[in-house]
Amino acid sequence: EIVLTQSPGTLSLSPGERATLSCRASQSVSSSYLAWYQQKPGQAPRLLIYGASSRATGIPDRFSGSGSGTDFTLTISRLEPEDFAVYYCQQYGSSAWTFGQGTKVEIK
């Protein structure tokens, strides 16, 4: 099973700042099968990015994804108040989906 490790565990930033979230895989992952989700308390996850860098429908362009192989990044260019949440990366490989443990972006 491919293990995804997200860092940092918690990111404390102010609105307007740039957020950079990392997702590292234990072995190479196909970019086609790397996605990012946002989850707010009491809500289901919401798809942000698929195929490592494609924004899902309705996702603002301040969200961007990049990376390949074992290292992937989600960047939020300028944090808005509604962006403070937990973010998960996800990959498909060896007939199974796995998620990272999540990065919490909190207000500083």
Partner 1 sequence: QVQLVQSGAEVKKPGASVKVSCKASGYTFTSYGISWVRQAPGQGLEWMGWISAYNGNTNYAQKLQGRVTMTTDTSTSTAYMELRSLRSDDTAVYYCARDVFGATSYFDYWGQGTLVTVSS
Contact set with partner 1 (CB under 8 A): 1, 32-33, 35, 37, 39, 44-47, 50-51, 54, 56-57, 88, 90, 92, 95-102
Report the nearest approach of partner 1 to the CB of residue 20 (Å). 20
21's tokens: 């979230």
Number of DSSP helices (H) and strands (E) in the chain, helices first: 0, 10
Q: Which is nearer to partner 1, 17 or 64 (CB)?
A: 64
Q: Which is nearer to partner 1, 18 or 27 (CB)?
A: 27
Q: Which is nearer to partner 1, 16 or 44 (CB)?
A: 44
Q: Which is nearer to partner 1, 13 or 47 (CB)?
A: 47
Question: Rounded to an integer, what distance in angstroms lies between the CA atom of residue 86 and that of residue 45?
Answer: 9
Report the nearest approach of partner 1 to the CB of residue 50 (Å). 4
Report the nearest approach of partner 1 to the CB of residue 92 (Å). 5
Contacts of 42 (CB under 8 A, 6+ apart): none
For the CA atoms of 10, 14, 20, 22, the dihedral, rounded to the nearest 10 degrees, stands at 10
Residue 20: strand pairing partners: 75
